[in-house]
Amino acid sequence: MKEVTKIKDTFFASCPVGIEEVLELELKDKGIKKTTKFKGGVQFECYPQFALNFILHTKLASRVYKTLFHFVIKNEDDLYYRCKEIKWKSVFNLDQTFKVQTLQGNSPNNQKRSKFKSSIFLSQKFKDGIVDNFRETTNKRPDVDTVSPNASLLLRVTPQDNEFSQKEDVSVLIDLCGEALSKRGYKVRGFKAPLRENLASAIVALTQHKEDQDFLDLMSGSGTLVIEAALRKGNIPGAYLQILDHFEFGDELGFSFTTLNVYTKDEKLQKDFKNFLDEAHKSIDKGLAALKASKSKIIANDIDRYTKTTLLDNIESAKLEDIIEVHTEDATDFSTQINNGIIIANPPYGERLGIDDDLESLYHDLGENLKQNFKGNTAYIFTGNLPLIKKISLQTSKKIILFNGNIESRLVEYKLF
């Protein structure tokens, strides 16, 4: 009986908790039909070239992994020996670096937790198996690099449902991305508590903003929400800045899969990916042209002078300076003509989560401005300070649970009549 099973054409896209359903829809829009949602991501099945194309286009995934192997263990020694059986030279080369990370989860029925006490020890056992496999087959060992490895391996260890079983399932995945996909590359200045780009894109998606609707962010900060709204409106790939630099300057794409054997030893996969890359490049030009010709507006507003500099720099870096309109007024009394549009604000949460006098007044006044100056539109407040939502004296039509990092947050919808 074969101890290790090689897995074909199975992938996993990770994402912030709460946006799994939107991510699944994005996968399906790219023609990927076999999907399964999990907390923190979506597993999907497709040919590798479609997974690589998804990496170019996704605006919601944090990372995309390829599932390589599956096996069952009872103890840490099993993990070592199963790992040692794998032909690692088919995955990465001796002169490439690697790292291992382990995530322990619950059983599929959510009734059992992994019995292993240390994910670090599991990672160590797995690393030893890789090193000893190379040592026995080549008399040399690959180096570990925990910062920027060529091959970043992820173990998912979960107990089986049977309450009497001591067996746990192990899936071995490899990161195809390198740097997180959420880092688009347009943020040129630091900013306190910025939204991650893929979370911002999910928030825009959840507002159901349409191409012919205006979009206004009353408290834009570093501009993440308005930039992501523009990318969604123009149907521009998430990796568009990397793609543009590749075609304009000949820069290498930063994705780690381009150096892995699963890609470099597959000529057909390389050819198919090049075709997808060419198509993505054309879609960027088309999307930017459509945004410039659009009659609906994307508007950013923030009162802070330093923030304005950051906002303008990021918009220019995103190549959207001719598309996003910028204002610098107080969000609590700013008004502009918006018809059947989307208004959003991501107000401060405060040093501590709870009621703060200044923030209480800000949230209240923000609600009053929405009520008085933006009738006929739909407004959204995104916040991690849940008690302050009550200070907005508007009738809530929807509340969506999202996580901004480890902060449980709400995207709250208000129909402004």
Distances (CA, A) of 342 to 1, 207, 211, 272, 296: 58, 7, 11, 39, 11
In tens, the pLDDT along 350-367 reads: 855 455 778 999 999 999
pTM: 0.95
Chain mean pLDDT for the chain: 95
Chain-centre distance for alpha carbon 151: 20
Percent of the chain with pLDDT over 70: 98
H or E segment to which residue 9 belongs: none
DSSP secondary structure string, 98-136? EEEEEEE-B-TTS--B---S-HHHHHHHHHHHHHHHHHH
Percent of the chain with pLDDT over 90: 92
Q: What is residue 353's predicted lDDT score, i.e. its pLDDT? A: 46
Mean pLDDT throughout 137-159?
Answer: 96
What three-state secondary structure class fits 411?
Answer: strand
Q: What is residue 194's predicted lDDT score, i.e. its pLDDT? A: 78
DSSP secondary structure string, 155-187? EEEEE-S-TT---EEEEEEEES-SS-TT--S--
Q: What is residue 1's predicted lDDT score, i.e. its pLDDT? A: 47
Are the C-beta atoms of 22 and 147 separated by less than 8 Å? no
234/289 Cα distance (integer angstroms): 8
Least confident of 246-255, 305-314, 364-373: 305-314
Domains of the chain, first to last: 5-175 (3.30.2130.30), 182-233+294-417 (3.40.50.150)
Q: What is residue 355's predicted lDDT score, i.e. its pLDDT? A: 54
Q: What is residue 118's predicted lDDT score, i.e. its pLDDT? A: 96
